[in-house]
Amino acid sequence: MHSFGYRANALLTFAVTILAFICAIASFSDNFSNQTPSAQIQILNINWFQKQPHGNDEVSLTLNITADLQSLFTWNTKQVFAFVAAEYKTSQNSLNQVSLWDAIIGEKEHAKFWIQISNKYRFIDQGHNLRGKDFNLTLHWHVMPKTGKMFADKIVMSGYRLPDAYR
């Protein structure tokens, strides 16, 4: 502590160490937040259901997505990434997950939304197993923090079924 430079260095190093602790505490406080998200997805229409030239099935859907993800936002949240995936089982794979739609929610105000949209990403199967297939639509979300640990969770909605024949 005998010179200006020595003291400035010591102070800066200690300040950055304390900053790291502060950020760790902020991240840890996320564990205590009460999260009650809700969502509903409705399939309004099956636009078309074809077999591609390569032999894979493809479906185009119009979805109506309603969700309230406002309770996921804490003081330490930068953004929430949400996506809808169709999940089903085939003889080839025990779990198929096909992402149909996603969004980045930057503010808490935008986290309560209603959207009617055809699938943003194509729903193509590995094969031709989709006729008459029962599938779940799952809304996944990743809560991305300003500092620290990212949390991810989902809501599974089941009971959807594709038609038995191509249209």
Partner 1 sequence: MDWQGQKVVEQVMQILLVICGVVAVVVGYATESFRMMMMIYAGGVVLATLVTVPDWPFYNHHPLKWLDPSEADKHPKPQVAAVASKKKSLKK
Interface stretch with partner 1, choices 11-19, 80-88, 110-118, 158-166 (CB under 8 A): 11-19
Q: Rounded to 5 degrees, what angle do the CA atoms 65, 77, 136 make?
A: 30
Binders of partner 1 among residues 53 to 112 (CB under 8 A) are 74-76
Q: Is 44 in the site for partner 1 (CB under 8 A)?
A: no
134-145: strand order across its sheet? 96-105, 77-88, 134-145, 151-161
Q: Strand, coil or helix: what is 72? A: helix
Q: Is residue 34 at the binding interface for partner 1, with CB under 8 A as the rule?
A: no
User: Which of 120, 122, 146, 149 is the binder for partner 1 (CB under 8 A)?
Assistant: 146
Closest to partner 1 by CB, 74 vs 138, is: 74
Instruction: Give the binding range for partner 1 (CB under 8 A) out of 13-21, 54-62, 86-94, 148-156.
Output: 13-21
Q: Tokens 């209603």 map to which residue?
A: 114
4 or 94, CB closer to partner 1?
4
To the nearest whole angstrom, how small is the minimum distance from the Cβ of residue 16 to partner 1?
9
CB nearer partner 1, residue 10 or residue 156: 10
Nearer to partner 1, 7 or 120 (CB): 7
SS3 1: coil
Instruction: Kindly give, in sequence order, each residue whose CB lies less than 8 Å from that of residue 46, ignoring residues fewer than 6 positions away.
Output: 59, 60, 61, 162, 163, 167
**How far is the C-alpha of 82 from the C-alpha of 111, rounded, in Å?**
10
- Token digits for 51? 């077999």
Half-sphere exposure of 128 (CA within 13 A, CB side): 11
117 forms part of the interface with partner 1 (CB under 8 A): no
Contacting positions for partner 1 (CB under 8 A): 1-2, 4, 7-8, 10-11, 14-15, 18-19, 21-22, 25-26, 29, 74-76, 146
